[in-house]
Structure 1
Amino acid sequence: MSDDLTILHDDGVLEIAVSLSTAGSALDHGAVLAGNEALQKVMRGSLKARAVLLTGRGKNFCAGGNVAYFAAADDRREYLRGLAHDLHTLIASLYSTRLPVVAAASGWAAGAGMSLVLHADLAIGGPATRMRPAYPGIGLSPDGGMSWLLPRIVGLGKARSILLRDEVIDAPAAVQLGLLSEITASDDEVAGRAREVAAGLAAGPSGAHTAIRHLLYSSASNTLAEQLAAEAESIAALSVTAEGMEGVDAFVAKRAPDFPGARG
């Protein structure tokens, strides 16, 4: 499957553009809708993806919402409510697909762009990558789940500082805070490296990836006893799947596991 905004690559990576090269790399509403439609197809089983790659089509990943559109809206309240609803539906779909998510965070990831990077399991940046909440600068509060996820990544105290002071976070600081997973040597390498990481995840054990993500996200609301029970159940269930058996058998045989072959 391929259109202007979403591409399903042969290796199982579903690439979703969140911004275009126009409008200053602002979040594109059409791209949000197209991305959610593709993810819905994944959940219905009509699209066979094993990893998601979020990209921007311009020099920036996503510079936030299109503020000119905010200003021009006949009813700003209803316009922003609708835009936030569609963005949040996309984010919910990212979790519902249960697929690992990679972000190619070139240049600016501001506002909603920063929120989307936070939801990626692995985010690849370059030397020029910058992150910024951007909402206070236009007198607004966060959307895209930033106020929920940022304190869980950096801690409540640091999240307060980042949000209230509208801090600009450069690439090294973003790695140190856990907002980026790695930085490439040059900005030109970000897209290729992110694509490589996504392809590696798509070729890996899908069941294990799904289970790991579920365990990590559920840990915030579980007691230790509940988490230990969930871990025991998960590892036991995976041990009798085709991928689980292939992984163990390959280890014993001292060969590389063939997870795609095990999936059939």
Structure 2
Amino acid sequence: MTDPLLVDRTDAVATLTLNRPTAMNALDVALKEALRDVLAELEADRSCRAVVLAGSGGSFCAGQDLREHVSTLESGNGGNPLDTVQAHYNPIAARLANLPKPVVAAVRGMAAGAGASLAFLADIRIGGPSTSFLMAFARVGLAADTGASWTLPRLVGHAKAVELLMLAEPVRAEEASRLGLLNRLVDDDEGVLPAAQELAARLAAGPTVAYAAIKRQLSVADAGTLADALAAEAQAQAICGGTKDHRTATMAFVTKQKPVFEGR
């Protein structure tokens, strides 16, 4: 049986590849459980300092596996297929958003529904000519999930988020880049994953504790007041100021050397 999620470890970078290419990497239970569990492992793994999220074949992720969804709806066994939101999508979204290390999404091809939501939870998204996003939820009579109601307005603004979710129209690569759904757009589809891994390797060589603090700060600031942000900044600097990386980098600055960060 083919593994639904491929995990590659190269130095301090973990590349997670959704591996159901014949189904456009649609999210069935096996893939969702594998992704949820691997993210939990990586959160606690200090040797992993950056994560790349990618899809196999020509697509990033088509979202929920609707064939499995329909099968559950029609089975008549009393199960609610939307229980997957609490069991799978919410834990995955929380893990990605709060992972104390950078996450880079390599978005080749279509990212639809929960697949687009996964990409939006990454800290940085890289795409190519074939990249497109589709907030497909309304097409099947559903509202957003996997954190899209939180991430999308922060990326494109409230009004545009309403439009993307209600009209459910594809957003092609150039428009996605203009809107901020993509941070970087490379010329060649084949270069999307290498570009993401190169950036992740750069981040993996950086001050991991500081990166985690930056993620927490921005999350607090997005939803809070100036007072909340200032308190989060004070807490972050107290933590970062006690790290070996801070001491090393400060001394390197004074001696005009290049710092070597250890992520601690």
Q: TM-score, normalised by structure 1?
A: 0.90
2:84, 2:242 → 1: CA distance? 44
Distance in 2 separating the partners of 1:106 and 1:180: 11
Give CA deviations for 1:13-54 in whole Å, capped at 9, x if unaligned.
Answer: 122223421223312432221122222223444x73111111
- One of 250, 253, 256 as aligned partner of 1:254: 256
- Structure 1: any 5+ residue segments left out of the alignment? none
The whole-number CA distance in structure 1 between the counterparts of 2:177 and 2:88 is 29
- Mark the runs of 5 or more structure 2 residues left unpaired by the alignment: none
Q: CA deviation at 1:251?
A: 2.0
Describe the SS at the equivalent of 2:125.
Answer: strand
Measured in 2, the distance between the counterparts of 1:142 and 1:221 equals: 19
- Partner of 2:26 in structure 1? 26
List per-residue Cα deviations over 1:75-95 (Å, max 9, x = no partner): 596123225631221121223
Displacement of 1:126 in angstroms is 0.2
Identical-pair percentage: 38
Contact 1:124 1:194 in 2 (8 A): yes
**1:137 shift after superposition:** 1.8
Q: Distance in 2 between matches of 1:118 and 1:77?
A: 29
**Corresponding position of 1:65:** 64
1:161 to 160, 163, 167: 163
Written as runs of structure 1 = structure 2, the 5 A alignment for 1:1-264 is 5-45=5-45, 48-73=47-72, 74-75=75-76, 78-82=80-84, 85-260=87-262, 263=264
For 2:248, the aligned partner's letter is E
Query: Structure 1 residues 83 and 231, CA, compared in 2 at 3 Å: closer, same or farther?
Result: closer
* CA displacement at 1:241 relative to structure 2: 1.2
Q: Following the alignment from structure 2 to structure 1, what is the Cα–Cα distance between the partners of residues 214 and 124?
A: 14
Residues 65 and 137 (structure 1), Cα distance of their counterparts in 2 relative to 1, 3 Å cut: same
**Per-residue CA distance 1:93-127 (angstroms, 9 max, x = gap):** 22343221110100001111110011000001001
8 Å CA contact 1:19, 1:28 repeated in 2: no
Report the Cα offset of residue 257 of structure 1. Answer: 1.2
RMSD: 2.1
CA contact (8 A) 1:20 1:28 kept: no
Change (3 A) 1:242 1:137: same
Decide which moves more: 146-155 or 75-84.
75-84
Task: Give the TM-score normalised by the residue count of structure 2.
Answer: 0.90
Cα shift at 1:154: 1.2
- Give the deviation of 1:209 after TM superposition: 0.2
- Distance verdict in 2 for CA 1:195–1:29, change over 3 Å: farther
How many angstroms apart in 2 are the aligned matches of 1:162 and 1:179? 12
Q: Give distance in 2, aligned partners of 1:48 and 1:8.
A: 13
Secondary structure of residue in 2 paired with 1:22 = helix
Residues 159 and 118 of structure 1: CA distance in aligned 2, closer, same or farther (over 3 Å): same
Runs ≥4 in structure 1, deviation > 4 angstroms?
none
